[in-house]
């Protein structure tokens, strides 16, 4: 496969920065990274406006997690939250969901042990 025949996938924090349905707009952005690349077709999906997803994976601003992650992970009474969006690592991916679920399961076991003692 010739490198120039390859596809490219892109993600970003602000969908309004580029009209991903417009090949010329995509070409202009891509030219900043790979001057020789030529956009011949584009395809996209707006996950934020998708009624079944409503978002993409988390794209937190600098300092957000260091400020709020502990509070989001903390038990609120006997209510525990879990999910890839509040994982210690790999936020937004299945690995983060597993890590977060394991943490919540350990926390739930501790809460039940306290309640049953």
Determine whether 5 is exposed, middle or buried from the number of CB atoms within 10 Å of its CB (0-12, 13-18, 19+). Answer: exposed
Q: Which tens digits make up the pLDDT trace of 17-55?
A: 888 889 999 899 888 887 778 888 888 888 778 898 877
Query: What pLDDT is recorded for position 30?
Result: 86
C-alpha closest to that of 105 among 82, 84, 88, 87: 82
* pLDDT at position 1 over 50: no
C-alpha closest to that of 81 among 104, 49, 112: 104
Domains and CATH numbers, the chain: 1-56 (no CATH), 64-116 (1.10.10.1620)
Look up tokens 């919540």; give the residue.
104
* Residue 76, helix vs strand vs coil: strand
Model-wide pTM > 0.85: no
Degrees to nearest 5, angle at CA 87 with 84 and 88: 155
């Amino acid at each position: 496969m010739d490198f120039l025949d390859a596809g490219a996938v892109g993600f970003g924090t602000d969908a309004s920065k580029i009209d991903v349905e417009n090949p010329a707009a995509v070409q202009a952005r891509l030219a900043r990274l790979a001057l020789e690349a030529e956009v011949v077709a584009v395809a996209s999906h707006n996950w934020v406006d998708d009624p079944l997803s409503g978002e993409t994976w988390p794209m937190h601003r600098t300092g957000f997690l260091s400020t709020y992650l502990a509070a989001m992970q903390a038990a609120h009474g006997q209510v525990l939250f879990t999910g890839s969006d509040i994982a210690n690592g790999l936020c937004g991916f299945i690995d983060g969901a597993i890590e977060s679920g394991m943490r919540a399961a350990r926390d739930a076991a501790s809460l039940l042990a306290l309640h049953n003692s």
